[in-house]
Structure 1
């Protein structure tokens, strides 16, 4: 039986002067209160109360034990109150890992706004396009882009991530505008292998063949590949959160806009759903809806 609840029942009986009034205070039944007190006496091996039909009397052992129990109960209740108060306060170091290009372009305003709302939170943002181990590396939240597989982690979708094939008008003027996947043959692909999972098998075959041949161009950073596309180096498959402004300004042109591509998403990933620290819970809630619906970078395209 729970020793804390047993001591609390005993203290309430002494304070209220009866099992019935103690039960009302603890919002339980007199039978359970009596059971708690009897169990506590048996557990301690002493009689704490002498019971008569009209009154309850503390025994000598009960008088000695009561102040100690009250001190323990007060300490536990203070500890519980402290956790409730901390749960209401959003504070502490929040360690976040995020993709390089997305964070560099879109996270600074969000993090500043979040800290204005919660000034007791310290932000530690680490940028990396690889999948970090949250537990091993001590991160509270990971922002990830892709199609997340089932795992022990909790993932909350923040916004859709739209992918487009695009190239500079100058490149298309030299090499022609492809009107179908078949017409992509002979065009140069600026390869970002992380994103190829969204493409159809036919499109992937062209991507790999074009990038792996003589004069191929492969990079693990979308900003570099978008820059290469802007310089007229070839065709890139890029998210609109990177390429959107250049498309809106006419410096890049979307190709095959009806092309079927699997949808990606930006996710907030964390370890536990239960007993989530306030700093993590508030940050993930803050992310939701911050970028708009559709996200502001897609409103340009």
Structure 2
């Protein structure tokens, strides 16, 4: 349990945190606290009303108690909900990540107890993964070229971004020995990270393209546009939570909606289409519509439908 106030070279620090410790154990009266600490009742009252009340100390009758969940942290309801969502999301990242994230979030608010459930199926990060994560984050921030081992092979790369796609962490990078070819490395497969001693520059155009990526299948090529027709049964989901790079371009009287979505690789868009079949139809481009029709036909043939 962290202290109520940061340490100072005087007895007030010790006294207030001793009072807090006692109140957490069980309720006490001012008279009891005065006898324990050998100070006046006015001193105890000032400590309770001026300091400890902001940290959750409450009075019921003659007894004072302290509940960290009632502490005042200066946050409004919306801010605290955001913190609780972050805390719950952190639980899905594994015990090593959560043990660190929870301590940081708790320093902002003691009230991480909202009835919020987030069930995000992310891979768990080990202690070694977190060390590598920090090393890569530092290299990205410093624009420092690194050497590393990936799936048993050595690479010299320019790290661009760390990204979470479909529950898996990736390092987006340029392969220095392959003419700065864009690649994605699975974070948990990266080992032996070291700085090469060289720095690199990143154009604003390239930086924006990387930031726009939302799938492990995405690349740096110029995006194509898929035009899709959504049946009323599923249109509401695209309105509630728009897909990345989505634009609603029309709506029919029957409730169906037409949208456009940009993609750089066909596998960015195909899983989305298959997920919503038969309530989604590809209008353009023709090659995408033909690809979907072919896959569905082969699947139906495979199961002898």
TM-score (norm 2): 0.20
TM-score (norm 1): 0.20
Q: Higher relative contact order by CA 8 Å / sep ≥ 6: 1 or 2? A: 1
Q: Which structure has more strand as a fraction of its residues?
A: 2
